[in-house]
Amino acid sequence: MVASISEKLKVAANVKVVYGEPQVVEGKTIIPVAVASYGFGAGSGTGPQGEGSGGGGGGLRVKPLGVVEVTAERTRFIPVIDVNRLATLGLIALVVVLFWFRRTFRRR
């Protein structure tokens, strides 16, 4: 069972998942770039009455990173901005600043 899941995930996580099909737009070749990761697991056990059971599963995660833009003059990577990550970092920075203000300007 684990081998079957592993094989299916290997087929899904190929280079076309990470580097999408190139598209030509207005004289520029655009190649989408992503990172793909996959994992799987399985287990089995025996209950107190001697009954056995097992199971397994796997998953594939694909996250866009940006695009490679190819023109006659240059090739460059244009990253995708992860708004969720920026919001999380901003919230963490705000909490740190608030704790710093509280500690610095606390009444004595």
Please tell me the pTM assigned to this model.
0.56
Residue of 30, 16, 33 whose CA lies nearest to 75: 30
Give the tens place of pLDDT for each residue, 74-97: 999 999 888 888 999 999 999 999
Q: Under 8 Å CB-to-CB from 47, ≥6 apart: which residues?
A: 53
Q: Is residue 60 part of a domain?
A: yes
Q: Is residue 11 part of a domain?
A: yes
Give the tens place of pLDDT for each residue, 3-35: 666 666 666 656 666 777 899 999 999 998 888
Q: Is residue 86 part of a domain?
A: no
Residue of 69, 13, 21, 60 whose CA lies nearest to 39: 60
Q: Is residue 98 part of a domain?
A: no
Q: Is residue 96 part of a domain?
A: no
Domain range for 61 = 2-80
Domain count, the chain: 1
Residue type, 77: F
What per-residue confidence (pLDDT) applies to 103? 87
